[in-house]
Amino acid sequence: MKRTVFRNRWLPWALVAPQLAVTIAFFFWPAFDSLRLSLYRASPFGDRLIFIGAGNFERLLADPAYFRSVATSFVFSFFVTLVGLSVALLLASLANAKIRGLAVYRTLLLWPYGIAPAVAGVIWLFVFHPSFGVLPYLLSFVTAYQFNWFLKGWVALALIIVAAIWKQFGYNLAFYLAGLQAIPGSVLEAASVDGAGPIRRFFAITFPLLSPVTFFLFTLNMTFAFFDTFGLVHAVTQGGPGDATSILVYRAWKDGFDGLQLGYSAAQSVILMVLVIALTAVQFRYAEKKVTY
């Protein structure tokens, strides 16, 4: 790898300063403030701040509902990441073929990414509304089963998983398309000459060569599923029915902003932060070894 050497000692610092300032102001400072607040029982208007040590954490860890929320979050991110990446890779392979009107297909496939999670949620809410949604109406001709996700937890969870995948799809597709185009055609042709079929070519050449992209998207999608899906849940299910779709980030928001239990909410975001740091570290430690750059 080529190293750039700066002669001036201060220039590199000056160049990264704006980014550092933004990171400190919007990431480190709030994160440390959450850490501090998580040790307190805090009143909404800030007039009472009672130090309770690990009290908020004890309250969380004694609550079976919190562990259900952890489990829901993992199920949610697992499916969003796995299914999301699989579908994106499949469609990227198809969109990489030389077909007529390719630009139109690509644009249409990238489209959903331009939509805010909350707006995506509202769209899905209308399509899937148990009483006046289009899909339940169509499904009623096929099966008598009531897909009422206002009351059926697994349907609600499946719905937000699919919505999150759809929302993130364009992003994944764009990276896979770029990755696919970077694979030299000569390698694939050589494999063809050696008698490898399309499936063999995909698993022996394309997929390994895409591993850096997959690794990057894997980390990013998981972070998306853990943090950015709040708007979606808020618009569609509000965590319900029961607590079937109450993922960690939504719970932290609800207890903090809706419930005004600030310390309790801060403790939840600290746990969430630790979880994601741990997951990312594990990925870099183990998964990255399988990545060929």
Partner 1 sequence: MKRSTLSVLVATVLLAGLPSTSGAATEIQFWHAMTAVLGERVNEMAAKFNASQSDYVVKAVNKGSYPEALNAAIAAYRAKQPPHVVQVFEVGTQTMLSSGAVYPVYQLMKDNAVAIDWNDLIGPVKSYYSTGGNLYSMAFNSSTPILYYNKDHFKKAGLPDKAPTTWDEVEGMAKKLKAAGVKCPFGSAWPSWVLVENMHAYHDQPFADHSNGFDGLATSLKINGPFGVKMMELLARGAKEGWFTYGGRLNKGEALMTAGECGIFTTSSAYIGNLTRASEGKFTWATGFLPRLAGFPQGNSIIGGATLWVMKGAKPEEYKGVAQFFKYVASTENQAWWAGVTGYLPLTNAAAKALEASGHYAKNPNQKTAVNQMNTGKATPNSQGIRLGNFNSVRDAIEEQMENIFSGSKTPKQGLDDAVAKGNEILKEFAALYK
Q: Which amino acid is at 123?
A: I
Residue from 59, 68, 106, 201 binding partner 1 (CB under 8 A)? 59
* Residue 68 is a binding residue for partner 1 (CB under 8 A): no
C-alpha angle 198-87-82 in degrees, rounded to nearest 5:
110
Per-residue binding string, partner 1, 140-179, x by CB under 8 A, is ----------xxxx--------------------------
Task: Take residue 17 and report the two structure tokens written for it.
Answer: 């300063």
Residue 63: exposure state from Cβ atoms within 10 A (0-12, 13-18, ≥19): exposed
Nearer to partner 1, 30 or 208 (CB): 30
Nearer to partner 1, 153 or 212 (CB): 153
* Residue 260 is a binding residue for partner 1 (CB under 8 A): yes
What is the rounded distance in angstroms from the CA atom of residue 165 to the CA atom of residue 236? 15
Q: Tell me if 83 sits within 8 A of 222, measured CB to CB.
A: no
* Residue 184 is a binding residue for partner 1 (CB under 8 A): no
- Per DSSP, the residues of 157-189 read HHHHHHHHHHHHHHHHHHHHHHHHHTS-HHHHH
Nearer to partner 1, 46 or 195 (CB): 46
**CB 255, min distance to partner 1, A:** 7
Residues from 2 through 41 that contact partner 1 (CB under 8 A): 41
Binding positions for partner 1, rule: CB under 8 A? 41-48, 50, 59, 65, 129, 131-132, 150-153, 238-243, 254-255, 257-261, 264
